Amino acid sequence: METAEIIANRWSPRAFTEVKMNRDEVRSLFEAARWAPSSMNEQPWKYYYALREDSGEFEKFLDCLVPFNQQWAKNASLLILSTARRHFVYKNKPNRHAMHDTGAANSFICLQANELGYQAHQMGGFKAGETYRAFKIDENEYELASFIAVGKPGDPSILPEDLKKSELSPRERKNIEEIVDGMIV
Ligand SMILES: Cc1cc2nc3c(=O)[nH]c(=O)nc-3n(C[C@H](O)[C@H](O)[C@H](O)COP(=O)(O)O)c2cc1C
């Protein structure tokens, strides 16, 4: 049985072409996130975004990334920061599923990007302290999840040599037997 195309074709590029994303497309990414499942339907995710043409704002996002990610994410059409609210609204109890659920919503963004002809590349490589400060996020209330670079996959030759090599290498995964206990093929 085939894996759904939208899942099978999703990947995390580093080379992006210079295209502008329109506001409807951006909105549809966050609309996809809205429909992710979450514990108690808490929807603990909160997003920040900047389009490349919003130059000052886009720079703010870029500056929060580690240099390794800056070198390729600078070509994305859109940068997103995803955060997770640490507590449930109900009784303000700790929500130990907040990051899990935000990750699920981020996956929906990645799939919707693919649906629109874009790709989304998530990044854990960012400077946390700088991000909390730059975005004026209260660390006691929200945990930083990931940055996400969205764009149309481009020509790998724009990349430095080491990144070009990764871009052109086949994507790898563990075997299904390694990730599912007792899987019989
Ligand atoms: C939470 C998270 C953090 C990641 N951090 C980075 C990162 O900092 N830099 C990077 O180049 N890729 C990062 N990635 C992308 C992964 O390396 C990529 O998803 C993985 O190699 C599988 O490749 P694929 O998405 O093309 O299938 C991250 C992905 C996730 C989900």
The average pLDDT across 19-40 equals: 98
What residues does each domain of the chain span? 5-164
What pLDDT is attached to residue 184? 75
HEC profile of 36-84: CCCHHHCCCEEEEEEECCCHHHHHHHHHCECHHHHHHHCCCCEEEEEEE
Q: 112 in ligand 1 pocket by Cβ < 6 Å?
A: no
Determine the residue of 3, 12, 66 to mutate for testing ligand 1's pocket, defined as the one with the most ligand atoms within 8 A of the Cβ atom: 12
> 5-164: what fold?
NADH Oxidase (3.40.109)
Closest to 106 in 3D by CA, of 80, 125, 68: 80
pLDDT in tens, 79-94: 999 999 999 999 999 9
Q: Which amino acid is at 36?
A: A
CA of 75 to the centre of ligand 1 (A): 17
Determine the residue of 99, 121, 144, 165 to mutate for testing ligand 1's pocket, defined as the one with the most ligand atoms within 8 A of the Cβ atom: 121
pLDDT in tens, 93-108: 999 999 999 999 999 9
| Residue 77 · residue 149 · CB < 8 Å | no
Is residue 185 predicted with pLDDT exceeding 80?
Answer: no
Q: 35 in ligand 1 pocket by Cβ < 6 Å?
A: no
CA of 122 to the centre of ligand 1 (A): 5
Sheet of 78-85: strand order equals 45-51, 78-85, 142-151, 119-123
pTM above 0.95, yes or no: yes
